[in-house]
Amino acid sequence: MPKKQQSIEELEKEEEDIVFREKEELAHFLKYMDGLEMDQLVLTILSYTGLRICEILALKWGI
């Protein structure tokens, strides 16, 4: 069953629950990404710099 499309006004009225992670939670998450080096690198950069995903993807990696 398709979802009802919302108007802009309805979308603007909705409140988002923004969840921030603690440093320890982030370190725990990144620790278990062992073996996924590029993913771990991207997530670490995203977490600590505030860059957007499109900005990360536009970076040129000198490997």
Q: What pLDDT digit, counting tens, does each position of 1-48 carry?
A: 777 888 888 888 888 777 877 888 888 888 887 777 778 888 888 888
**62 assigned to some structural domain:** no
Tokens 């069953």 found at: 1
**6 assigned to some structural domain:** no
Distance CA(33)–CA(38), nearest Å, equals: 10
Structural domain count, the chain: 1
Q: Residue 13: CA atoms inside 13 Å, Cβ hemisphere, count?
A: 5
pTM for the structure as a whole? 0.52
**34 assigned to some structural domain:** yes
Q: Phi-psi category of 18—alpha, beta or left, where left has phi over 0 and alpha has psi -120 to 50?
A: beta
**53 assigned to some structural domain:** yes
Which residue range is the domain that position 43 belongs to? 18-57
**7 assigned to some structural domain:** no
